[in-house]
Amino acid sequence: MVGLPARGKSYIAHRLARYLNWIGTKSKVFNVGQYRRELVGVNMSYDYYDPFNTTGAQSRRMVASHVLDTIIEWFKEDPDNAVAILDATNTTRDRRDLILERCPPEGIQVMFIESVLDDTFIEERNIREHKLRCPDYQGCDPDDAFNDFSKRIENYKKAYETLCLNLDRELSFIRVSNITQFHINNLLGTVQSKSAYFLMNIRPHTKTTLYLSRHGESQFNELAKIGGDTNLTDNGVRYAKKLGKFLQENNLTDIPVWTSIMKRTIETCSHLPNQNVQRYKCLNEIDAGRCDGLTYKEIEETYPEEFALRDLDKYNYRYPQGESYQDVCCRLEPIIMDLEKQDQVLLICHQAVLRCIVGYFLNLSTDEIPYIKIPLHTVIKITPVAYGCEKEEISFGVESSVTHRDKQTQESIERRLLALDISHGDSSFVSHEDMNGHSGNNNIISDHVIKT
């Protein structure tokens, strides 16, 4: 990242990493402030950041070099490690040159993301809401801490060299000015293009509160069958009515409701007081292909190889003539971008779809997403906090079927595969590379160090 303190760099870094991880590009944020506190200590006064303080400048360069060493080692540890986001100020060309000297020789492609903010009100809010809570100011008087941090910013301004076309034409960079204006230069490859797409869709000062719910219990839920397009059971209708009462009691009757085009979600919405209901095909449940309308027991008996291989890698496995969780995430991407811009919204859809959406907002891995518990007759509230989100479950006490299936042990899966005498590549299993054509190159984004 590039930019003065309190310009939203850490916020952008964590949001970008969350998005890239969700689309299957393994990413990690490396915050230089955390490393500085470990190596040098906390309670460093604003004088430490004065560019004319030789001792402080040498110390900060040492920390920067250490973090770059750590990033380079991280890329070497696992070939799947794809994007490192260097969350730091990098406000001088000298510091950015250090990144450019170290990373390309290691096969790391560099893109800079600069955040520029001229709004003093937002700057002060960022300082008071986030910076004063960091370990550097624990136990300090809030006003004293605010004054010290403000002086720290003034010291950075003394040497600040912004990215510009005249001097940085050969670099890959995105310059974000006041959240709304974007200057994009010389982007290379899918990861950098995807990063630009994401940054142009988020609204850092919009705090989206999501209410997520599955449809009321359906007739197929009651029969333990997957998929289908059936109506609600009596218990499903009871839940839908209670959900409507919940919205009324919490003054949520004016928020938009987004739902799928399937009978069970449309019927659930028919019992709500909200008038702004929008239907999206991309919110339909995962397509189970030839397994649609079967119980898990019937799938295991009819397609034992498919059943075992899905357990082996549930996120990437694609049902015969159907979809994988990765496919669902791909079709949900436009919805995710729209959700980033909303203040409040209620989604009524399906188990696999909500797993993908909850996984995005909670920054869960692709191994975790297919096993998130999304019970029927429960509202999940997602609330933004700092650089992440909190999840709250609200149950209405309406009886329902249990549709969750726990993750199987690796030993039991391997034993079944061995008994079936099949290898891991004998079925509909689709790898991440097969689907997205990723070559595994590394990327480093400065303040964003992206390794592409």
112 within 8 A of 445, measured Cβ to Cβ: yes
Strand-by-strand arrangement of the 388-395 sheet: 277-279, 257-259, 344-349, 209-214, 378-385, 388-395
- Burial 172-208, CB ≥16 within 10 A → b, else e: bbbbbeebeeeeebebebbbbebbbebbebbebeeeb
215 is catalytic: yes
Largest Cα–Cα distance of the chain, in whole Å? 74
The active-site residue out of 7, 60, 215, 416 is 215
Closest CA to 204 of 297, 105, 341: 341
- Regarding beta strands 209-214 and 108-116, do their DSSP bridges make them parallel or antiparallel, or are they unpaired? unpaired
Catalytic, 61? Answer: no
Evaluated on CA atoms 141, 143, 145, 151, the torsion sign reads negative
Which of the residues 217, 267, 285, 340 is marked catalytic? Answer: 285
Residue 115's beta-bridge partner residues? 176
Check 14, 102, 264, 355 and give the catalytic one.
264
Annotation marks residue 355 as catalytic: no
Q: Which of 95, 214, 238, 355 is catalytic?
A: 214
- Decide if 214 is catalytic: yes
β-strand pairing of 388-395 with 378-385: antiparallel
Q: Closest Cα partner for 239 from 219, 269, 278?
A: 269
Number of H helices, E strands in the chain: 17, 12
Query: For the stretch 410-432, what's the b/e string if a residue is b when 16 or more beta carbons lie within 10 angstroms of its beta carbon?
Result: eeebeebbeeeeeeeeebbbeeb
Q: What would the DSSP string read from start to end of 350-414?
A: -HHHHHHHHHHHTT--TTTGGG----TTEEEEEEEETTEEEEEEEE----------PPPPHHHHH
Catalytic residue among 31, 81, 126, 221: 221
How many whole angstroms separate alpha carbon 71 and alpha carbon 107?
Answer: 12
SS3 category, 232? strand
Q: If you ran DSSP here, which 8-state letter would residue 316 be given?
A: T
The per-residue b/e assignment along 335-374, b for 16 or more CB within 10 angstroms, e otherwise, is bbeebbeeeebbbbbbbbbbbbbbbbbbbbebeebbebeb
Residue 340 identity (one-letter amino acid) = E
Q: Is 441 a catalytic residue?
A: no
432 part of the active site:
no
Catalytic choice (350, 355, 377, 416): 350
Residues serving a catalytic function are: 214-215, 221, 264, 285, 350
